[in-house]
Chain A
């Protein structure tokens, strides 16, 4: 095994669970998340001489992993056939509205947990778990757009470049993702 001054394989490997956690928050599948973590660690091993040590090792690894995740999204754009299913054609957001555009169903029913002040909402671990579960239920296209925009906080133009969709359809996609998550939380909390 090649000598790596200061940092051993075990050191790198000790970051694997945190890296997998980071990846899983951005990807549908645990297996994909772990594959990208493995790629990240292999890249790290081969490029350890470029690690200057100004940043923490974890930060450096997360930087590599983030690139791999964005590359994975770009790859999905080039291989749409590999993404399990296309967008369902029915406009599921619209059953919430009457034809003239006012509410048909109550969008706020059962969401009292979201009425708390921001700090309380952030500390509500049950809410976090439920939201993560609901994100997993989004279709791949909605999930990708939502993750890039909200979790990664990418600029909308950057998201369009990565996913290959227009600004207009990104707006519609994000609208559907956000309202879909809200509806999913309502269902999870017993308000179908």
Chain B
């Protein structure tokens, strides 16, 4: 992997992070904590406090903002069934299914 070039605003992010850590120690989230919370918020409603923490971090960190959207899109994609025709089943396998159904009807309920 090529070394990750920090985003152009990284120094600003750093300064802001330090500042917010100082001013609002309970409210500032690290990028890692933010990402974990983003995942959890897909499974349960976030509390008001969590909403606030998410909003604050989102406002400052472009990477996390984009990453959150990507994770949400992946979730969206998994939830919606895809269009198009289902692939066919091998004829031999289909024949075995028919056999099993035949046996089941013959043997009664």
What is A's interface to B at a CB cutoff of 8 Å? Answer: 1-2, 4, 9, 12-13, 16-18, 20-22, 25, 34, 37-38, 41-42, 45-47, 94, 97, 100-108, 111, 114-115, 118, 121-123, 125, 127-128, 131, 135, 146, 149-151, 153, 156, 170-171, 174-175, 178-179, 181-182, 185, 192
Contact = CB atoms under 8 A, between A and B. Distances in A.
A121 B80 CA distance: 11
A61 B86 CA distance: 16
Q: Which 7 A-B residue pairs are closest in the complex by CB-CB distance?
A: A101-B30, A21-B86, A150-B78, A101-B32, A175-B39, A108-B66, A107-B67
Contacts of B94: 13, 16
B24 interface: no
A12 B69 CA distance: 41
B71 A178 contact: yes
B63 A107 contact: yes
A1 B105 contact: yes
A21 B87 contact: yes
B1 A100 contact: no
Contacts of B39: 171, 174-175, 178-179
B59 interface: no
A4 B22 CA distance: 75
A101 B1 CA distance: 19
A115 to B, nearest CB: 7
Given A103-B63, A106-B63, A118 B89 contact: no
A17 B67 CA distance: 36
Contacts, number: 151
Contact of A179 (B1, B35, B44): B35
Contacts of A149: 42-43
Contacts of B75: 150, 178
B88 A17 contact: yes
A101 B33 contact: yes
Instruction: Please indicate which of the listed interface residues B80, B82, B96 has the most CB atoms of chain A within 10 Å of its own CB.
Output: B82
Contacts of A122: 76-77, 80
Contacts of A107: 35, 63, 66-67, 70
B97 A128 contact: no
A171 B37 CA distance: 9
A131 B74 contact: yes
Interface in B40-84: 40, 42-44, 63, 66-67, 69-71, 73-84
